[in-house]
Amino acid sequence: MTETTSVGFIGLGLMGGPMAANVARAGFPLTVWNRTPAKCEPVRELGARVATTAAEAAAASDVLVTMVSDDAALEDLLFGSAGVADALPSGAVVIDMSTTSPACMESVATRLAERDVRFVDSPVFGSTEPATTGDLWAIVGADADDLARVRPVLDAMCGTVFHMGPVGAGSLMKVCGNLIVTGMIALLGESLTLGTDGGLDPAAMLDVLDAIDFTSPLWKGKGSLVVEGDYAPRFPLRHALKDVRLARSVAASRGLDLRVVAGAEQQYAAAAEAGHQDDDVIAVVHAVRPTAS
Ligand SMILES: NC(=O)c1ccc[n+]([C@@H]2O[C@H](COP(=O)([O-])OP(=O)(O)OC[C@H]3O[C@@H](n4cnc5c(N)ncnc54)[C@H](OP(=O)(O)O)[C@@H]3O)[C@@H](O)[C@H]2O)c1
């Protein structure tokens, strides 16, 4: 696989847009498609071809990257009326980089194999900023040979690639990481609300959290958005709600009960119910004081 490998990219949302741009900048011949066509324009300006249908993008791909919302969107795209799976050339490889369930990844891999198409499960850690700079962390579940084939495409978007095991293992690791991150952000919202309610300056609170021995880039990264009142989406709250529900359902399928994350789910669900589903994830802070919105 070289820079002459034809790459297709479907799903140019907050993450997929800058990721596809990095594939174009790396010199791969690129064909893109997005359900809302206007989001393709910045990548067209970098030289990508914009397909008129998802199947057209798939048919032009040695490697097809998908970056859509969830299991349902991926199923719909690949096996629904868009006809993507049937349009892929024999021998192609699909890399799904969305946050989806391990069961979905395994099922997709099986059905693509019946069409002589290989599959790499590669969700990512990192938000819109590392997506823009090409420094995402890819968490891969795949056969080693399949990963080796697509590695140059992943390297165009990601600074680090972890190979966790077979298809499904990438998704499981992503679920395990996301339950920590979404839980931390929900707790940050509770902490800032409790502190400011008692008269503390939120910026001073973040200085403390940033200095002590359980610090995280999340405290200032997300907390400063609360101080500035900036809720423009980097990681939309509706995806955090999807991710906590995903973690709980994967756990439940194994007879495990994630009670801490169940609390975070309640906060995200309340914030979404109050109209913050398309705001940044830190808008979960609004759920702590139930009368606020
Ligand atoms: N944002 C982050 O910080 C972040 C970080 C790591 C992982 N993720 C994960 O990455 C994925 C994408 O996130 P995002 O933030 O880029 O979300 P987003 O901006 O909402 O983008 C979602 C993309 O999926 C497309 N889509 C949704 N349903 C579809 C369908 N049925 N058929 C075809 N296309 C469909 C959307 O098309 P339209 O443009 O037409 O709506 C859009 O391109 C999610 O699984 C998310 O959990 C996000």
Task: Characterize the bridge pairing of strands 49-50 and 63-66.
Answer: unpaired
For residue 34 and ligand 1, the question of a CB distance below 6 A is answered with yes
- Options 3.60.21.10, 3.40.50.720, 1.20.120.160, 1.10.150.120; CATH of 7-165: 3.40.50.720
Low-confidence ranges of the chain (pLDDT < 50): 292-293
For residue 12 and ligand 1, the question of a CB distance below 6 A is answered with yes
Ligand 1 pocket test, pick from 35, 65, 81, 125 with the greatest ligand atom count within 8 Å of Cβ, gives 35
The amino acid present at 260, given as its one-letter code, is V
For residue 239 and ligand 1, the question of a CB distance below 6 A is answered with yes
The residue nearest atom 10 of ligand 1, judged by CA position, is: 98
For residue 286 and ligand 1, the question of a CB distance below 6 A is answered with no
Q: Measuring CA to CA, how many Å separate 135 from each of 23, 127, 159, 162, 265?
A: 13, 10, 4, 13, 29
Q: What is the pLDDT, as a whole number, of residue 4?
A: 80
Domain residue spans of the chain: 7-165, 172-287
Concerning whether 242 is annotated as a catalytic residue, the answer is: no
The residue nearest atom 5 of ligand 1, judged by CA position, is: 127
Helix/strand/coil for 256: coil
Distance 197 CA to ligand 1 centre (A): 35
For residue 73 and ligand 1, the question of a CB distance below 6 A is answered with yes
The residue nearest atom 11 of ligand 1, judged by CA position, is: 98
For residue 67 and ligand 1, the question of a CB distance below 6 A is answered with yes
pLDDT tens digits along 32-67 = 999 999 999 999 999 999 999 999 999 999 999 999
Q: According to CATH, what is the number of the domain 172-287?
A: 1.10.1040.10
Q: What is the pLDDT, as a whole number, of residue 19?
A: 98
Where do the DSSP E strands lie in the chain?
7-10, 30-33, 49-50, 63-66, 93-96, 118-121, 124-125, 136-141, 158-165
Rounded Cα–Cα distance for residues 149 and 144 (Å)? 9
Distance 12 CA to ligand 1 centre (A): 7
Distance 18 CA to ligand 1 centre (A): 12
Single out the catalytic residue among 174, 220, 222, 242: 174
Q: What is the pLDDT, as a whole number, of residue 3?
A: 57
Distance 175 CA to ligand 1 centre (A): 16
Helix/strand/coil for 119: strand
Q: Measuring CA to CA, how many Å separate 142 from each of 37, 74, 125, 146, 271?
A: 31, 18, 17, 6, 36
Chain center to CA of 165: 19
